[in-house]
Structure 1
């Protein structure tokens, strides 16, 4: 599928479907990136469904506590917990996963919503370009580390568990550079200072959202069909949120004015965007096979970008998967064991 600018405008002017609901009694839900915007609004919707536990994972404890109070005040739900994790620090992610192994129990729904936009080249303490680490590597790391808990919950439940990874419609508008597609280690190239010139950094967020789609499809390709776990990518749409605050702050610029106009004319509220996350988490239960590896937008499964479906897209998907696993295996010795115990070598692509 191709998505034109006109198609984007039409989507943004489309009436957003009402929020999906489900009975979450006895279930545990974890939302990563939940203190503001669509993550906070999604957490409120989950709270209204009364899960046994709702864990909101935030980077900033003070902001997380404010979100916790807001969720409890608006929903009258008192089962919400605040946990701290920083995706810009691999040690924080592995510590979070270790804590969940000790204290979290089974996990039925994982929503990976945390993400950043960073126009300038910045390295994390782990030595990776920050957007690449937060939006792809650390998101993939935590998702993989929590797979044992998700599968255990799925086996005990009448419905498969879900991993929801927040992507974006921007993945339609990015095709990796020829040098990146040809590289045996594209992530290393994308993270290098030599590659991250200002021109390339303009598309970094778009690239990270494409990586999210590739990861969802690659992981689904490696889960046995009988595994009680579905992995879903979701497009929340263009929303009012703090994601683009780095562009909104600072001195006067024509880009800042254009962004403000674009928001005024096209942006959904954060609550409207959060409905897409909820559908990806609890919707489509009447056709679970369609949800597996699917891409949710406007409350339904949509076809992904033509590049993703192409032969070169699938080749890059496999290359990115291998490099991601190699990188994350060096971060946590649990990754290799999880891959061996829960995943298989794929024998076909996702159509």
Structure 2
């Protein structure tokens, strides 16, 4: 059910924001993708205040990442932040990031997949994919699946529950995957990412929202294939409309319009980070209630009618299958993960 505009605007007021949840992360390792700025950095600050054993700031830029590690210590006193480089627009970089985890051998209790981009135009990566689709969906799914064995091993070795948080958006209430793309199982993602499909200006502007919908689909599908007894909680969270560098690459009149909306309605970045933290550590006495859920405003919300309807459920499964097929061609570990940990 789509929330009313009045309800959505209610949660865009600072006075209505719940306080950040507290917790003790002593000895635990947290990884935040897209950690050097904005919501990702504010999320790291909250984890630092919970005394995390390690915080991995996964960033694309060495210079900006090092600056973030230094700022984290300056603003919180936390000196155990580590910069790990990952460029989600480069599949090779994702593989190298996963290789580093295998070589590191350490635990991984929480991963927050926050990194995303919204260029507002069709730009190809060096891998030949539309950059928005590759960064926001394919590479995000890729890194989570490659790290899944480490996440599960951590939970089993320590008798704990790990958590995987994908950052989605409440914009998913406003869009669907269009029927002409859904009618191409095995090629839905390729269709959505194609230059021909994105010649339509409206589709290009909606692509970011579609990838956020795909993040929710991935979270729901991964949760379903892991099964209810898996020692890991997977969910997707909407941070709300916040001040962010996400939209820095937009151009023209659309960028101006977005800036006006940001000035009028955007929450401070830190408010959005509270929702990510809640998804990662909230409800410690009832964590199973968060399995496969969509989280907004530090509570579970029902997703859109499309997501929970028959067309959405089929689209979710088709995109899941296609995602695994695409990623398996990039790294044989994907099929190993699927065969070992994920029910058919």
Measure, in 2, the Cα distance between the counterparts of 1:10 and 1:301: 16
Corresponding residue of 1:145: 146
Corresponding residue of 2:277: 278
**2:248 aligned with 1:245:** yes
Corresponding residue of 1:11: 11
Match of 1:94, SS? helix
Measure, in 2, the Cα distance between the counterparts of 1:150 and 1:59: 22
Does the Cα contact within 8 Å between 1:3 and 1:173 map onto a contact in 2? Answer: no
Corresponding residue of 1:46: 47
Corresponding residue of 2:236: 233
Does the Cα contact within 8 Å between 1:165 and 1:212 map onto a contact in 2? Answer: yes
Post-superposition offset of 1:287:
1.6
Measure, in 2, the Cα distance between the counterparts of 1:256 and 1:112: 25
Per-residue displacement from partner, 1:273-327 (whole Å, max 9, x unpaired)?
0000100100022222211101111111111111010011111111000000000
**2:214 aligned with 1:211:** yes
Measure, in 1, the Cα distance between the counterparts of 2:59 and 2:331: 21
Unaligned runs of 5+ in 2: none
**2:78 aligned with 1:77:** yes
Does the Cα contact within 8 Å between 1:117 and 1:246 map onto a contact in 2? Answer: yes
Corresponding residue of 1:110: 111
Does the Cα contact within 8 Å between 2:10 and 2:16 map onto a contact in 1? Answer: no
User: TM-score, normalised to structure 1's length?
Assistant: 0.94
Post-superposition offset of 1:264:
2.4
Count of residue correspondences: 341
Alignment of 1:165-176 (within 5 A): 165-176=166-177
Corresponding residue of 1:348: none
Corresponding residue of 1:297: 296
Post-superposition offset of 1:7:
3.1
Measure, in 1, the Cα distance between the counterparts of 2:130 and 2:263: 32
Per-residue displacement from partner, 1:171-204 (whole Å, max 9, x unpaired)?
1110121101111110011111111112310100
Post-superposition offset of 1:260:
3.1
Does the Cα contact within 8 Å between 1:31 and 1:111 map onto a contact in 2? Answer: yes
Post-superposition offset of 1:4:
3.9
Corresponding residue of 2:268: 269
Change (3 A) 1:180 1:227: same
Pairwise CA RMSD = 1.3
